Chains A and B, each alone.
Chain A
Amino acid sequence: MKRSKSVYLFLAPALVMVVVFLLFPMVYTLSVSFTRWDGLSPPKFNGLENYIDLFRSRAFLVSLKNTFIWVIFTLLLPVGLGLLIAWGVSNIKLAGLFKAVFYIPLTLSAVTTGLIWVWMYGPQLGVLNNLFRALHLDFLAHSWLTEVPLNTYSMIFAWTWRTTGSNMIMFLIGLQALPKEPIEASQLDGFSKWQTFIYVMLPMLRSMTTVVVAMALINSFNIFDIIYVMTSGGPYRSSETLAVTMYRESFVLFHMGYGAAVAVVLSIMVLLVSAFYVREMTKREITY
């Protein structure tokens, strides 16, 4: 009895933190999502009206579509490239240099990354367009952040530039921890390097891949800062994601109830997708 009491005592600080900073805001946000509230006058209960309005709103549907585009391309590019680069640089000379080159962008904040790429993408004075013009490839010069849907892909590219390095490091850790025997055995059996990578190393990397993909999934669903800096979700709300829509509705328009409804939808999506993914990936343990 005495022992169980002391257990609760040790648990208490963490529990208080979870309740105050996680559970309470979640429940509060959920309750706000059923109201109409401008943050000044008392909230008025309006049932499911915010949720109905959400799915009637063209801006919300565009935002939903953009969120999925971000999720898909974040998995394909920063994660996929991170994996390939990790494999590519793991056994070459000057590996340290390559690792540093790919890792350096991660040391910049998302806001700084956004600003750098706003200057890169500038229509008249931007580096990219001027490079194309200097090479007489004028047809490749674009208004990267105002042409729809090019603007979303331009931002995904900037995000890829920043985050590939972190995925590369994670995969490098995973690759270094792999047992040597199965890899050597596959090479003795005549596997090419690529075949060894696909059929031997990749399955053994499953646990690391699960972590990297799960983190990328959650981050891409919640993507906000780089978009806010680069386009503010514009032009005409064409590049908003759910996190940007939530912020705009809550803190620009002060439609607190509507913004909370977006937050609830986003949270449910992240929870469902990541829980499903992690459960599926951890079902089977690889043994070697």
Chain B
Amino acid sequence: MSKRISGLMVGCSLLFLFFGLAAAAEPELVLMHDKGGAPNYQPVYEAMSDACFEATGVAFKQVPYPTTEIHMAAVRTALPTNKAPELFTWWSTYRMKPLIDAGLLADLTNLWDARKGEYDPGVRGAFEFNGRVYGLPGSMAYWVVWYHKPLFEQYGLSRPNTWDEFIELCDFFKSRDIIPLGTTVQGRWPTFIYTEQFLVGMDPDFYEALMVGKAKYTDETAVKAFEVYKDMLKKGYFSDPGTDIWTDFPRLFGQGKAAMILMGSWYAVTLESAGLKIGEDFDAFLMPSVNPKSGKVVIYEASSPVLVGKKSVGLKDALKVASWWLTPEGQYMFGSLSGGQIPCNTATDISYLPQVKQNIVKTLKTEGYRLVNRYWEATPTDICEEAVDKFAEFILKPDAYMQVLGDLEKIAQDYWREHK
């Protein structure tokens, strides 16, 4: 009996040893991401891993985190160690700069160089510091105005081509007790949405200079942009700032009680999940610039960027994954799997996109729109995190705009004094 037990124990030990060695022989790449709270995202990364394996022979295992903060803390803790993730989702530009400064990101410049001509230089710029590129975009988001199509048709309205036409639309809806534009201060970050749009629409060069500390929040251009915003707030063009844009606004929009909202192209998924059909119930247009001299400008966001941990064990394989992700095929896979997101690689076949999004891409290309990076990434995180609270203060107390601008300038000056 005891011999049998001993034999069983030895057998089990050998089995464990075998699997242990097998696991050790084939280290699996890890992709940490913050979409654990969005269950529909997990099959996306699973399918990406399968597709990647088919194309490169390398797969990866996802490690989802339920919230952004937990994800950030986990990644930052792991990156300097030998447990650094091979791949992880992050944010571009200034959001990734502390990781670059600490020498924790793999240099992807060669991979980007191999794709020259396939990417807008602005998009590469979102991942570039001192001539080196450190990340890649999952997909591309453009900030557009989503509008309630049946409402426009019912009142015989057309999409605006100029700022005056856009304001006329707002006036029209306001006069009919329909909320012209959705907004919120809930969740903090959405407060930059209209602020950046009006700054860019006033002067995109000024906006870009402001983002890197070469212009001031108290400059005339910023003051003018805030005055435009203040007038719109005071005229009641916006929804109550306490509106939840993820649950309440889609319902108001679906009921025809709200007409428009400025949001990333990914917001279509939110509206669709409220039972609305893209192209039938809602469509999109690009917001005209406040200042006609600004030309045609659109705010973009390099969505769901993927970075590579420099100290990770599987760095070599991680670079293969990154290289594949940058290809038209990789971009196609991620874009099509993640609910019809727009690919960053311009050589990608976009036939999988809904017609509305295809139209956006075509318009941007044919009409020569200038791409400008989103506020969240374009300016240093320390400024941005304080600024979004200041924008909220302005939205709730529009008359205090000069004080808010003064505070913003002080925040920016404090940062740039230390970091120049």
In the bound complex, residues from chain B placing their C-beta under 8 Å from that of A247 are 69
A101 at the interface (CB under 8 A from B): no
B186 adjacent to A234 (CB under 8 Å): yes
Binary contact readout A245-288 vs B (1 if CB under 8 angstroms, 0 otherwise): 00100011110000000000000000000000000000000000
A 94-125 to B, binary, CB cutoff 8 A, 1 in contact else 0: 00000000000000000000000011011111
Question: Are the C-beta atoms of A41 and B102 separated by less than 8 Å?
Answer: yes
Chain A contacts for B329, CB-based, 8 A: none
Whether B69 lies near A122 (C-beta < 8 A) is no
A252 x B385 contact (CB < 8 A): yes
Chain A residues whose C-beta falls within 8 Å of the C-beta of B244 in the assembled complex = 118, 122
- Whether B389 lies near A237 (C-beta < 8 A) is yes
Chain B residues closer than 8 Å to A118, beta-carbon distance? 244
Indicate whether A124 sits within 8 Å of B396 (C-beta atoms), given known contacts A251-B69, A251-B72.
Answer: no
Q: Measured between C-beta atoms, what is the minimum distance from A245 to chain B in Å? A: 12
Specify which of B185, B385, B390 is in contact with A146 (CB 8 Å cutoff): B185
Is A145 part of the contact surface with B, judged by Cβ < 8 Å? yes
Interface string of A219-246 (1 = CB under 8 A from B): 0000000000001101111000000000
Least distance between B183 CB and chain A CB atoms (Å): 11
B185's partner among A38, A41, A125, A234 (CB-CB below 8 A) is A234
Question: Beyond A40-B104, A124-B248, A234-B186, is A252–B69 a contact (Cβ under 8 Å)?
Answer: yes
Closest to A121 in B: B242
Chain A residues in 8 Å Cβ range of B248: 122, 124-125
Q: Quick check: is B370 within 8 A (CB to CB) of the other chain?
A: no
Q: Which of B367-396 contact A (CB under 8 A)?
A: 381-382, 385, 389-390, 392-393, 395-396
Give Cα distance in the complex from A253 to B387, angstroms: 13
Contacts of A41 in B (CB 8 A): 101-102
Q: Mark B221-261, 1 if CB is under 8 A from A, else 0.
A: 00000000000000000011111100110011000010000
Q: Indicate whether A123 sits within 8 Å of B242 (C-beta atoms), given known contacts A40-B76, A40-B79.
A: yes
Q: Cβ of B390 and Cβ of A236 under 8 Å apart? A: yes
Known contacts being A39-B77, A253-B382, is A235 close to B389, with CB within 8 Å? yes
Closest to B396 in A: A235
Q: Identify which of residues 38-76 in chain B touch chain A, using a CB-to-CB cut-off of 8 Å.
A: 69, 72-73, 76
Contact (Cβ within 8 A) B99 A40: yes
- The interface residues of chain A lying within 8 Å CB-to-CB of B241 are 143, 146, 235
Within 8 A of A (CB), among B388-408: 389-390, 392-393, 395-396
Q: How many residues of B sit at the interface, in one of the four size bands?
A: 35 or more
From B76, B98, B247, B392, A234 is in contact (CB under 8 Å) with: B392
Chain A residues whose C-beta falls within 8 Å of the C-beta of B396 in the assembled complex:
146, 148, 235-236
Min distance, Cβ B197 to any Cβ of chain A, angstroms: 20
User: Given A40-B98, A232-B188, A234-B186, are A253 and B385 neighbors across the interface (CB < 8 Å)?
Assistant: yes
Q: How far is A125 from B396 in the complex, measured between Cα atoms in Å? A: 20
Q: Taking the complex as formed, is A159 at the interface, i.e. its CB lies under 8 A from any CB of chain B? A: no
Q: Decide yes or no whether A144 CB sits under 8 A from chain B.
A: yes
Q: Which B residues are CB-close (under 8 A) to A144? A: 242
Whole-angstrom distance between the alpha carbons of A40 and B79 in the complex? 8
* Min distance, Cβ B390 to any Cβ of chain A, angstroms: 7
Identity of the chain A residue whose Cβ is nearest the Cβ of B258 in the assembled complex: A124
For B252, give the chain A residue with the smallest CB separation.
A124
Instruction: Please give, as numbers and ranges, the residues of chain B lying within 8 Å of A252 by CB-CB distance.
Output: 69, 385
| Closest-CB distance, B76 to chain A (whole angstroms) | 5
CB distance from A276 to the nearest CB of B (A): 34
Is the CB of B187 closer than 8 A to any CB of chain A? yes
Least CB separation from A141: chain B residue? B240
Q: Which residues of A contact B188 (CB under 8 A)?
A: 232, 234-235
Contact call A145/B69, Cβ cutoff below 8 A: no
Q: Give the Cβ gap from A237 to chain B, nearest Cβ, in Å.
A: 5
Residues in chain A near residue B98, CB distance under 8 A: 38, 40, 254
Tell me whether B295 is interfacial, beta carbon within 8 Å: no
The residues of A that contact B102 with a CB separation of less than 8 Å are 40-41
Chain B proximity mask over A142-186: 1 for CB below 8 Å, otherwise 0: 011110100000000000000000000000000000000000000
Contacts of B239 in A (CB 8 A): 124
Q: Which of B76, B99, B240, B392 contacts A124 (CB 8 A)?
A: B240
- Enumerate chain B residues within 8 angstroms of A146, measured Cβ to Cβ: 185-186, 240-242, 396
Taking the complex as formed, is B80 at the interface, i.e. its CB lies under 8 A from any CB of chain A?
Answer: yes
B252 touches which of A38, A125, A232 (Cβ 8 Å): A125
Q: In this complex, what residue of B is CB-closest to A41?
A: B102
Task: Provide the bound-state CA to CA distance between A121 and B69, in Å.
Answer: 26
B208 CB to closest chain A CB (Å) equals 24
- Interchain CB contact under 8 A, B242 and A122: yes
Of A123, A148, A236, which contacts B240 at CB under 8 A?
A123
Cα–Cα distance between A231 and B240 once the two chains are bound (Å):
15
Known pairs A124-B248, A252-B69; A145 contacts B186 (CB<8 A): yes
Residue of A nearest to B241 (CB): A146
Q: Which residues of A contact B390 (CB under 8 A)?
A: 236
Find out whether the CB atom of A234 lies under 8 angstroms from the CB atom of B389: yes
Min CB gap B66→A, angstroms: 11
What is the chain A residue whose CB lies nearest that of B104? Answer: A40
Which one of A125, A143, A247 has the highest number of Cβ atoms from chain B below 10 Å of its Cβ? Answer: A125
Interface flags for B182-219 (1: CB within 8 Å of A; 0: not) read 00011110000000000000000000000000000000
16 A-B pairs with C-beta separation under 8 A: A39-B73, A39-B76, A40-B80, A121-B242, A122-B244, A122-B248, A123-B240, A124-B252, A124-B257, A145-B186, A145-B242, A234-B186, A235-B185, A235-B392, A236-B390, A251-B72
Instruction: Give the 9 A-B CB pairs with smallest separation, nearest first.
Output: A123-B240, A236-B393, A235-B392, A143-B242, A146-B242, A40-B102, A123-B242, A235-B185, A236-B389
State the B residues within 8 Å of A (CB): 69, 72-73, 76-77, 79-80, 98-99, 101-102, 104, 185-188, 239-244, 247-248, 251-252, 257, 381-382, 385, 389-390, 392-393, 395-396
Further contacts, 16 of them, CB under 8 A, given A40-B80, A123-B243, A235-B188: A39-B77, A40-B98, A40-B101, A40-B102, A122-B243, A123-B242, A124-B243, A125-B248, A125-B252, A143-B241, A146-B396, A232-B186, A234-B389, A236-B390, A253-B382, A254-B72
